[in-house]
Amino acid sequence: MESTARLIIDGKTFELPVIEGTEGERALDISDLRKETGLITLDPGYANTGSCESSITFMDGEKGILRYRGIPVEQLAEHSSFRETAYLLINGELPTEEELNRFSEMLNDHSLIHEDMRSFFENFPRRAHPMGILSSMVNGLRAFYPELPQRNEKEEINITFTRLLSKVRTLAAMSYKISLGHKVVSPSHRLSYCANFLNMMFDSPVRPYAIDEDLVQALNVFWILHADHEQNCSTSAVRLVGSARVNLYAAISAGIAALWGPLHGGANQAVVEMLQQIYDNGGDPAPYIARAKDKSDPFRLMGFGHRVYKTYDPRGCIMEKMCAKVLKKLKRKDPLLDIAKRLEEVALKDSYFIDHNLYPNLDFYSGIFLRALGIPLNMFTVMFAIGRLPGWISQWKESIDDPQWKLHRPRQIYIGPKERDYIPIEEKS
Ligand code: SDX
């Protein structure tokens, strides 16, 4: 296949290198475009623009394929744990038993929060959104854990990764308990990563939390499905902020902020709010589908559509099955699950959704799963953030290890006023 593309501008021909990825995706390398031609490209939302070469996650949006370091997400969901998948994403290979045990020990050793951070929580308004608290607290971690020069760079970075992975879980549970005015539950060295989180969230002196291994396993799968997704909005925020060589905590804090948006990670909360509205209005999804199709209405069907997937999101298929499994295990029914299935059925028969390739994405069922676990609505996106953390860390690491490292600084096409003179205010009419 051609390894160059020809561009003719004002009668002059320019050759652009064509590069090819492991799975056959091809790209025009425009690194020298402006130097060679004086022109830049314009691509609002970067729908056609690759920001980097990466060996972490592969997605095929047309075929609904998702692989972490080459391993299909379906296999990881079936056989792996969140800790093992986090290790795979960050280190590039699945761990040996010894490596995984060492990783687990470090996660345990770094699971406590500095007691002085407690006062941060106590000074947030009770109604503060947990995503705003999490973004602030992660940024605040830097003040408590500055890089220590006596450790070598690689060891320091690994400790920082593990500290973040472990403490973000404790911070989330702590913010929940403090928001209720309840006693904070400390992490236990006896519990695994996911069991520890559930215990910190739901244990209480008057009602001890009974660890259910099926729910722990379901949470592992939930976080595996969220662990990475190549250059999505929040990962791109981590890479962009990280490109200025800020510390990892600041870059991750930026990723949390980006994920908060309802078009991105905030969609899992928005889906449940939409389904609840449909339920409260009698359960008929038709008016919402009509609104989603109405160009004059800014309403979007939350949990539907994706920038990359133009078929089923493979994670959404697994999440739907997990909802049913957990509700069955808990012997519970959730009317919102029935509404979601009805909505999906009606939408996928509608030509608008078919023509626009709009299918349920990861967020469409994830909120119903979280409701079944007892996670409060305003913490749904925090749950997404905890799952996405290994992905953000691995992508940040790949970018700082890149010998081609560049500060992210896109260009623009200016369409404002031409040069004009200042007018003193007294002359302004
Ligand atoms: C996540 O990127 C990732 O990988 C993200 C993520 C991850 O793991 O990191 O997968 C997680 O963020 C999943 C997406 C969660 N967001 C939602 O569920 C919110 C609802 N979805 C949409 O807002 C939308 O689908 C986006 C933002 C997700 C993607 O939008 P695009 O690719 O920018 O598409 P677009 O906005 O250009 O829309 C293309 C067309 C438009 O119609 P036309 O003007 O071309 O006629 O599709 C329509 C849109 O109006 N459209 C929708 C729709 N999504 C797109 N119409 C109704 N309802 C929707 N949900």
Q: Mean pLDDT, 10 residues at a time, over the chain (429 residues)?
A: 90 97 97 97 97 97 97 98 98 98 96 92 90 96 81 83 96 94 95 98 96 97 98 98 94 98 95 97 95 96 96 96 95 95 94 96 96 96 98 96 93 98 95
- Scanning 243-331, the segments in alpha helix (DSSP H) are 248-259, 267-280, 286-293, 314-329
* 8 A C-beta contact, residue 66 and residue 72: yes
Residue 74's Cβ-count burial label (10 Å; 0-12, 13-18, 19+) is: middle
Q: What is the pLDDT of residue 388?
A: 98
In sequence order, which residues have a C-beta less than 8 Å from that of residue 139 and are 6 or more positions away? 249, 250, 253
Strands across the sheet containing 12-20: 4-9, 12-20, 26-28
Ligand 1 atom having least distance to the Cα of 259 = 12
Quick one: which of 340, 346, 222, 331 has its CA closest to 278? 340
Decide: helix, strand or coil at residue 219. Answer: helix
- Residue 356 CB less than 6 A away from ligand 1: yes
Q: Is 174 in the pocket of ligand 1 (CB under 6 A)?
A: no
The rounded radius of gyration (Å) of the Cα atoms in the chain is: 24
Check residue 149 and give its pLDDT: 65
The protein residue with its alpha carbon nearest to ligand 1, atom 13, reads 264
Q: Which H or E element spans position 13?
A: strand 12-20
* Beta-sheet strands, E only, within 159-269: none
For residue 202, what pLDDT is reported? 98
pLDDT of residue 232: 98
Question: Which residues are the active-site residues?
Answer: 306, 363
pLDDT at 240: 98
Structure-derived torsion over alpha carbons of residues 224, 367, 284, 358, reported in degrees to the nearest 10: -40
SS3 170: helix
User: Does any ligand 1 atom lie closer than 6 A to the CB of residue 315?
Assistant: no
What phi and psi values does residue 17 have, to the nearest 5 degrees? -65, 145
How many angstroms separate the alpha carbon of residue 264 from the centre of ligand 1?
A: 9
- Model pTM score: 0.96
Q: What are phi and psi of 152, to 5 degrees?
A: -75, 160
Termini Cα distance of the chain: 64
Q: How far is the CA of 82 from the centre of ligand 1 (A)?
A: 27
Residue 162's nearest CA partner among 393, 399, 400 is 393
What type of residue is 354?
I
Given this model, what pLDDT does residue 148 score? 66
Q: Is the CB of 303 under 6 A from ligand 1?
A: yes
